[in-house]
Amino acid sequence: MNPTYDFTGKVALVTGASAGMGLATARAFAEAGAAVVLADIRQEAAATAAEALIAEGHRAIAVPCDTSDDAQVAAMVERTVAEFGQLDFAFNNAGIMAEVAPLADGSRENWDRVIGVNLRGVWSCMQHELRQMQKQGGGAIVNNASVGGTKGDPGVSPYTASKHGVIGLTRTSALEYVKHNIRVNAVNPGVIATQIARDVVENDDAAYAEMVAKVPLGRAGSSEEIASAVLWLCSPSASYVVGQAFTIDGGLTVG
């Protein structure tokens, strides 16, 4: 059983919110009473998800956003505040997988695309979120990094570099903004049952099964398990947790 939180009167922003970990986290925030902004480059999917939450009695809006575009990120935060008056929590989840290739065979286009979303996009989101939270006097941010940010991962060097960067941004900004009552942390998901996990093995079912088999717990994690960690990190229960990259991987990186 997951713990329950009362986020009534709070506002949560989730990027990459149309599916997977983003959608599960947006739903969890809504069910805990928060008003939720579902931001995604996939506008129709985000709108459908927001409509479903509204139909269940929650407060939610969908905002189109390509997080690699700073103007769109600025507009996303502005829309959040215009609609709900504040921004208390942010889950910077939007991310993409790199094309699989050894470093010397990779393209500059692939590098720029992955870094643009996974690292520069998180940096841009944090800039605008932190400015708003600083005005308000506090808040909590959780960035979606990866176990790939804690080790090497052959074949996807842009992705791995981007996630190492997210952890660095998390730790540094946590130290910079804790004095403003803003806590910044990250989650490092392992093998989670989402499309991006299958992208790692180029949708090869046998390779995916082999990857899951390496998890000591014996299964892939669920998006809801990541959502549970994000809500805890945003809650008063985690009030002493600052600048941490919280690994959730079924034991994958223990050995």
**Which residues are marked as active site?**
159
Phi then psi for residue 5, to 5 deg, are: -130, 155
104 near 119, Cβ under 8 Å?
no
Extract the runs of DSSP E, i.e. beta strands, from the chain.
11-15, 35-40, 60-64, 89-92, 139-144, 182-189, 245-248
Nearest-angstrom CA–CA distance, 27 and 76: 19
Task: HSE, CB side, 13 Å, CA atoms: give it for residue 73.
Answer: 24
Instruction: Using alpha carbons, list the distances in angstroms from residue 57 to 27, 50, 224, 231.
Output: 12, 11, 20, 20
Count of CB atoms within 10 A of residue 216's CB?
A: 11
Phi then psi for residue 247, to 5 deg, are: -85, 130
Angle at 106 between CA 103 and CA 107, to 5 degrees: 140
185 near 243, Cβ under 8 Å?
yes
DSSP assignment of 122-139 = HHHHHHHHHHHHHHHT-E
